[in-house]
Amino acid sequence: RSGLPTYSAADVAAHDSKEKGIWVIYGNGVYDITEYVSQHPGGTKILMAAGKSIEPFWEVYSVHKNDEIFEIMESYRIGNITEVPEKSKSSDANDPYKDEPERSPLLIPSSQKPFNAEPPVQMLADQFLTPNDMFYVRNHLPVPCVCIDNFTLDLKLSTGSPSLTFQQLTKDFPKRSVTAAIQCAGNRRSEMVKVKPVKGLNWGSAAISNAKFSGVSLNELLLRYNVDIDTVRAKYIVFEGLDTQPDGSPYGASIPLELARLLKNDIIVAYEMNGQPLPRDHGYPLRIIIPGVVGARQVKWLNKIYFSPEESTSHWQRRDYKGFNASTDWHNVDFDKSVSISQLPVISAICDPVEGQELEEGAEEVTLKGYAWSGGGRGIIRVDVSADGGKTWHEATLKPNGQTPYHSYAWTLWEADIPLPKGETKTELVVKAVDVSYNVQPDSVAGIWNLRGCLSNAWHRVNVKVPL
């Protein structure tokens, strides 16, 4: 609409709270929705878009795309957005990050180069399969540009060294699928940082996502070349990616062969994610999916697989992604003495409400939503929630993930409506999960603190306010 004032994206970004007013962008309009927020049927979730474009959220919550809502929106219109010049690509030809993919504005970056980001935690538990453009991203290096016609997956086997084209992989083998959560070892690291600083990206609770991965079964691939995982003579299977460090060495990871045998038919050389070709950020054209195992071993841009008497020599296998006790620090750490993280311990988190959230005035109940997951295919059998800091517990309702107790690689989403303590203006919500082996989460983070901030799986606590 003409005649209205124009605002820049920065003007809108400055209006991202109740105090400063809540503005959003839709199309080329700027809307002041401060007054509307309390009437929003979806509650305070709308605040995720404060100061930003509301469009990417509506892509996920598509019920919004109807005339009634457009009409409501127009009544809050205060202006137009100034034309933004086409984003100019980085002009520095030497910048190794000049060819990074486009990313969804929904992702919340924790670093740009390399790109690392998590989705808004409030949206995470709304969908069993995390949409591809919302899936957390953990890159250590620039995203490689892969020309599919020149791409090969190179195997080094006792029976020969075949190079497979992408076409061969997709045409010559049956398509197998596994639905699995992938979690970074550093998920929820920000809670560990509060005990004592650690080295690593300051992840919240959303460095985990869940997708259906499809591709070639690793076992079937190897059998085609007469290599049987059960009898092959080696100790490790090594995976390497096409992303390289300045010295030319690639990102690499390995798992013990014993583990590969255990997971035999579940390990997949994936070329699809949720029915789409793998997005560039998630390993286009190929990545290995080793379900139940830490994110760091799910090598993206996979182009080499071989067997070895020793672990991958990569930095990330040998000098990172290991656990230590809480008294080990950088002056006395010995990485060679610790076991590489592979299958992960049980974890859970409350995704909604979020830390510091103000619940409805006089609320007597609260609805909690979140995820629970355990490594090694161990299914979740119970999720306990508390609205009084862990004094009294209730059982959350689990949404079945369609998998079996010992091959449960997907996460389990859960929900609970529980009473709030009477007369309190603030309280602590807590969640803890139990897996099929009756593994439980530790009650506090101090005892599991470690210098890299990995494996942060204590009870998840969220403090909320309850205005009376």
Residues lying near Mo ion in the complex (CB under 5 A)? 138, 184, 295-296
Distance CA(411)–CA(50), nearest Å, equals: 29
- Residue 315 known to be catalytic: no
User: Which amino acid makes up residue 285?
Assistant: P
Helix residue ranges per DSSP H, 3-79: 9-13, 55-60, 67-74
Q: Report the residue from 128, 135, 236, 459 that binds ligand MTE according to the rule CB under 6 A.
A: 135
User: Among Mo ion, ligand MTE, none, what does residue 282 contact (CB within 5–8 Å per kind)?
Assistant: ligand MTE
Query: Of the listed pieces 12-20, 39-47, 60-68, 135-143, which binds ligand MTE according to CB under 6 A?
Result: 135-143
Query: Roughly how many angstroms between the first and final C-alpha of the chain, as a whole number?
Result: 42
The answer to the question of residue 138 lying near ligand MTE (CB under 6 A) is yes
Binding mask 159-188 for ligand MTE (x = CB under 6 A): -----------------------x-x----
Q: What gap in Å lies between CA 373 and CA 207, rounded to an integer?
A: 13
Sign of the torsion angle spanned by Cα atoms 292, 298, 302, 306: negative
Report which of 57, 102, 353, 323 is spatially closest to residue 205, judged by C-alpha positions.
353
278 makes contact with ligand MTE (CB under 6 A): no
Which parts of 101-130 interact with ligand MTE (CB under 6 A)? none
Based on the shown chain and the rule CB under 6 A, indicate whether residue 137 belongs to the binding site for ligand MTE: yes
Which of Mo ion, ligand MTE, none has residue 387 at its interface (CB below 5 to 8 Å by kind)? none
**How many residues in the shown chain lie near ligand MTE by CB under 6 A?**
20
Confirm whether 282 is a catalytic residue. Answer: no
Q: What is the DSSP string of 226-293?
A: T--TTT---SEEEEEEEEE-TTSPEEEEEEEHHHHHHTGGG-EEEEEETTEEPPGGGTTT-EEE-TTB
Residue closer to Mo ion, measured from CB, 80 or 298: 298
Asked if residues 146 and 284 have their Cβ atoms less than 8 Å apart, the reply is: yes
**184 given a catalytic annotation:** yes
184 or 430: CB nearest Mo ion:
184
386 contributes a contact to ligand MTE by CB under 6 A: no
User: Alpha carbon of 120 to those of 22, 208, 303, 351, 362: distances in Å?
Assistant: 18, 11, 32, 9, 27
Q: Is 40 a catalytic residue?
A: yes
Contact flag: residue 282 with ligand MTE (CB under 6 A): yes
Distance of alpha carbon 439 from alpha carbon 457, whole angstroms: 12
Cβ proximity to ligand MTE, 207 vs 434, nearer residue: 207
Report what 237 binds from ligand MTE, Mo ion, none; CB cut-off 5-8 Å by kind: none
* Contact partner at residue 366 from ligand MTE, Mo ion, none, CB < 5 to 8 Å by partner kind: none
Largest CA distance in the chain: 76
Please select the residue that binds ligand MTE; options are 200, 215, 241, 379, rule is CB under 6 A: 241
Give catalytic status of residue 138 as yes or no: yes
Measure the CA–CA gap between 176 and 279, rounded to whole angstroms.
18
Closest CA to 455 of 320, 345, 372: 345
Minimum Å gap between C-beta 287 and Mo ion is 13
Catalytic residue annotation: 40, 64, 138, 184, 321
